[in-house]
Amino acid sequence: MLKVLVIDESCGRAAAVCAGLVMAGHQVAAVLASARDLPEQVASIKPDIILIETDAPSRDTLEHLAAMERDAPRPVIVFARESDSEQIGAAIRAGVSAYVVDGLEPERLGPIIDVALARFEKHQALKTELVEATRKLSDRKRVEKAKGILMKSRGLDEDAAYSALRKLAMDRGKSMAAVAQDVIDMARLLL
User: What are the sequence ranges of the domains in the chain?
Assistant: 3-104, 131-190
Distance between CA atoms of residues 168 and 175, nearest Å: 9
Please give the residue that has the higher pLDDT: either 133 or 57.
Answer: 133
| Same topology between domain 3-104 and domain 131-190 | no
List strands edge to edge, sheet with 3-8. 27-32, 3-8, 49-54, 76-80, 98-101
- Say what the pLDDT of residue 11 is: 82
- Say what the pLDDT of residue 68 is: 86
CB 108 within 8 A of CB 17: no
- DSSP state letters, 19-40: HHHHHTT-EEEEEES--TTHHH
User: 3-104 sits in which CATH class?
Assistant: alpha beta
- Say what the pLDDT of residue 67 is: 87
| pLDDT classification of 162: cutoffs 50, 70, 90 | very high
* Percent of the chain residues topping a pLDDT of 90: 59
Distance between CA atoms of residues 59 and 153, nearest Å: 55
Q: Are strands 98-101 and 76-80 parallel, antiparallel or unpaired?
A: parallel
Q: Examine the pLDDT at 36 and tell me if it is beyond 90.
A: no
Please give the residue that has the higher pLDDT: either 1 or 177.
Answer: 177
Q: According to DSSP H, which parts of 25-79 are helical?
A: 38-45, 59-71
CB 115 within 8 A of CB 94: no
> Considering the chain, what is the average pLDDT of its residues?
91
Q: Examine the pLDDT at 161 and tell me if it is beyond 90.
A: yes
Query: CATH for 131-190, among 1.10.10.10, 3.30.750.200, 2.60.40.10, 1.10.3720.10?
Result: 1.10.10.10
pLDDT tens digits, one per residue of 105-148: 777 888 899 999 999 999 999 999 999 999 999 999 999 999 99
2's enclosing H/E stretch is none
- Say what the pLDDT of residue 102 is: 77
Distance between CA atoms of residues 33 and 17, nearest Å: 13
